[in-house]
């Protein structure tokens, strides 16, 4: 194990389980309604796996299909099995479900160093599913495992960052296309970006400062970037279909970023402005924001509602 990397079992946790997932201070009426709707959408995401046999928009179907094979995919496979317990919920199943999640946290922290890149990312996605379930449940006598959940998430993300030698879970590059990548490589990079977006949105609603390793040091003036790629690319059923879609509409494959002013800016335009006007507020404004919103909305998937709500939430 590299110097400085610790397993959760090596850490001293509080004798009493402290609640870390605290809702941010109540907002004014209009903003609070937006925040409440964001929470409702977030809480619905795990139900996609439970009830509808589909994937939440931060988890690719190929990843779910491969969860019974490959290094480090066991946590996701176990998560999908555990979710079946929630179909008919009762006090007894809730207690057993959350005890199993705590056991999963301990298992992950004892094994994550042996996971490959895909396994580490799938584990992060798994932990976010548990995190969303905990947020949806609120504080109950059964789910008092905030410290274990957040500590596990922190060490796994920290290892992913260490291997990728980057300063945050988000790539420093804003190039959403990543020319030359295969379909599998693109799925990994796009999944990674979507996890970053999910973290940033959750952090708008609850205090996540404890998970400092997960913090995405985004680009100056951008709240969320890069935004998720088009639905047609993300939901392609095969590499052939993905390539066809990639070449069918190359002009709309560029990435977008959501600015602090609520504008949607093309990342190519943002990078050019950053070079020509470093430090200028005009870097994060766009004369084409209206057109950009229309273009991005035309191709958005299930993440779209969350992005739109996040754009409407006052900072």
Q: Which residue has the higher pLDDT, 127 or 258?
A: 127
Residues 171 and 302 in one domain: no
DSSP 111-166: HGGG--HHHHHHHHHHHHHHHHHHHHH-S-SS---HHHHHHHHHHHHHHHHHHHT-
Residues 312 and 169 in one domain: no
Residues 195 and 275 in one domain: no
The predicted pLDDT at position 90 comes to 72
% of the chain residues with pLDDT over 70:
82
Q: Which residues pair with 222 in a beta bridge?
A: 259
Instruction: Express each pLDDT in 51-92 by its tens digit.
Output: 766 899 999 999 998 887 777 899 999 999 999 888 877 777
Residues 146 and 278 in one domain: no
| Alpha helices, DSSP H, located in the chain | 29-51, 61-65, 74-83, 91-111, 117-137, 146-164, 183-205, 231-234, 239-248, 267-276, 289-298, 304-312
Residues 186 and 233 in one domain: no
Residue 145, pLDDT > 80, answer: yes
The predicted pLDDT at position 250 comes to 66
Instruction: Express each pLDDT in 216-236 by its tens digit.
Output: 546 777 888 889 999 999 999
Burial (CB count within 10 angstroms: exposed 0-12, middle 13-18, buried 19+), residue 10 = exposed
Strands 264-266 and 222-224: unpaired
Residues 153 and 207 in one domain: yes
| Half-sphere exposure in the Cβ direction for 67 (13 Å, CA) | 20
131 found inside a domain: yes
Can the peptide bond before residue 226 be classed as cis, meaning omega within 30 degrees of 0? yes
Residues 184 and 284 in one domain: no
Residues 286 and 312 in one domain: yes
Domain enclosing residue 234, as ranges = 219-315
What residues have CB less than 8 Å from 296, skipping those under 6 apart? Answer: 227, 256, 264
Residues 34 and 164 in one domain: yes
The predicted pLDDT at position 213 comes to 55
In this prediction, residues 287-293 reach a mean pLDDT of 89
Residue 299, pLDDT > 80, answer: yes
The predicted pLDDT at position 215 comes to 55
Instruction: Count the Cβ atoms, other than its own, within 10 Å of residue 311.
Output: 17
Residue 39, pLDDT > 70, answer: yes
As given in the structure block, the two tokens for residue 290 are 């209206």
Q: Which residues pair with 259 in a beta bridge?
A: 222
What residues have CB less than 8 Å from 28, skipping those under 6 apart? Answer: 314
239 found inside a domain: yes
Residue 190, pLDDT > 80, answer: yes
Tell me which of 112-121, 239-248, 250-259 is least confident.
250-259
The predicted pLDDT at position 273 comes to 80
Report the domain count for the chain. 2
The predicted pLDDT at position 181 comes to 86
């Amino acid at each position: 194990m590299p110097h400085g990397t610790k397993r959760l079992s090596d850490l001293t946790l509080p004798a009493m389980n402290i609640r870390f997932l605290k809702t941010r201070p109540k907002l004014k009426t209009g903003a609070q309604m937006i925040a409440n709707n964001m929470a409702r959408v977030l809480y619905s995401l795990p139900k996609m796996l439970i009830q509808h046999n589909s994937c939440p928009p931060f988890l690719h179907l190929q990843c779910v299909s491969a969860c019974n094979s490959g290094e480090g995919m066991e946590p996701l496979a176990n998560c999908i099995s555990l979710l079946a317990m929630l179909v008919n919920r009762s006090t007894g199943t809730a207690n057993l479900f959350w005890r199993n999640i705590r056991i999963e946290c301990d298992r992950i922290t004892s094994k994550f160093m042996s996971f490959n890149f895909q396994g580490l990312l799938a584990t992060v996605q798994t932990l976010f599913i548990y995190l969303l379930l905990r947020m949806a449940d609120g504080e109950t006598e059964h789910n008092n495992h905030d410290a274990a959940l957040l500590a596990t998430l922190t060490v796994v993300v920290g290892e992913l960052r260490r291997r990728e030698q980057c300063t945050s879970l988000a790539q420093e590059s804003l190039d959403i296309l990543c020319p030359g990548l295969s379909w599998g490589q693109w799925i990994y990079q796009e999944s990674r970006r979507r996890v970053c977006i999910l973290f940033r949105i959750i952090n708008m609603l609850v205090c996540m400062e404890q998970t400092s390793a997960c913090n995405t040091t985004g680009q100056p003036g951008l709240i969320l970037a890069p935004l998720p790629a088009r639905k047609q690319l993300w939901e392609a059923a095969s590499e052939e279909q993905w390539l066809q879609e990639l070449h069918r509409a190359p002009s709309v494959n560029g990435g977008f970023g959501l600015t602090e002013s609520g504008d949607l800016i093309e990342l190519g335009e943002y990078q050019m402005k950053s070079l020509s006007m470093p430090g200028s507020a005009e870097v994060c404004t766009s004369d084409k924001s209206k057109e950009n919103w229309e273009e991005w909305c035309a191709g958005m998937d299930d993440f779209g509602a969350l992005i739109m709500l996040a754009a409407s939430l006052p900072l």
